[in-house]
């Protein structure tokens, strides 16, 4: 199997004024590909970059940096993808903050971090509190907009109707895809 060499989103998402709609359309395609048994190595690398940047963004906006650390299990590979992705989309201030926050995690002992990742996030939690940082919400860079623009301006980006999206994905996976 070769890589699916395109980043596809729906016409509806592209027409929307909300940048999250383009990002979520890309995420839906990735999730569908995964459900159909396509390994990440065959999904467009930059589509995945956008996917993981949105994961970081969502975790931070829903529960601050500590929630990202907790829910991701502080995964080295994921962290590298996010770091590279923030640089790639031109989110300099967000990259600076991510690196600063990452240093905080590195200063926590492995034992303490392990306990944090196994414990509950809620309640009294000094590690959680030490990781939280509201500067994210004060940054003037709009991470969602930068992410959406990254997709829209990508040379492999295509806007398709939902039927065309399914036809292309069915051709790629080699079988009919059941629609919800």
Q: Check: pTM over 0.75? Answer yes or no.
A: yes
Q: Helices in the chain by DSSP H: which ranges?
A: 11-15, 19-35, 45-72, 76-88, 92-106, 110-118, 126-131, 135-138, 143-152, 162-173
Residue pLDDT, tens place only, 18-51: 999 999 999 999 999 999 999 999 999 999 999 9
Concatenated DSSP letters of 26-68:
HHHHHHHHHHTT--GGGB-HHHHHHHHHHHHHHHHHHHHHHHH
Mean pLDDT value of segment 134-139: 96
Count, residues in the chain: 180
pLDDT-derived band at 1, boundaries 50, 70, 90: confident
Q: Is residue 180 pLDDT above 80, yes or no?
A: no
Mean pLDDT value of segment 56-63: 98
For tokens 């990254």, what's the residue?
150
């Amino acid at each position: 199997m070769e890589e699916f060499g395109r980043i596809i989103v729906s016409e509806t998402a592209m027409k929307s004024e909300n940048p999250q709609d383009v990002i979520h359309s890309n995420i839906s395609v990735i999730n569908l590909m995964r459900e159909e048994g396509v390994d990440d190595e065959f999904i467009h690398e930059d589509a995945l970059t956008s996917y993981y940047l949105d994961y970081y963004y969502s975790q931070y906006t829903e529960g601050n940096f500590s929630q990202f650390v907790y829910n991701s299990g502080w995964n080295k590979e994921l962290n590298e993808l996010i770091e590279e992705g923030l640089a790639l989309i031109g989110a300099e201030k967000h990259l600076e903050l991510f690196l600063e926050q990452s240093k905080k995690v590195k200063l926590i002992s492995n034992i303490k971090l392990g306990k944090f990742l196994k414990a509950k996030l809620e309640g009294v939690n000094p590690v959680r509190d030490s990781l939280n940082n509201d500067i994210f919400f004060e940054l003037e860079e709009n991470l969602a907009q930068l992410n959406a623009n990254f997709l829209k301006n990508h040379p492999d980006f295509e806007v398709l109707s939902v039927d065309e999206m399914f036809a292309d994905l069915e051709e790629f996976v080699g079988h009919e895809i059941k629609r919800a």
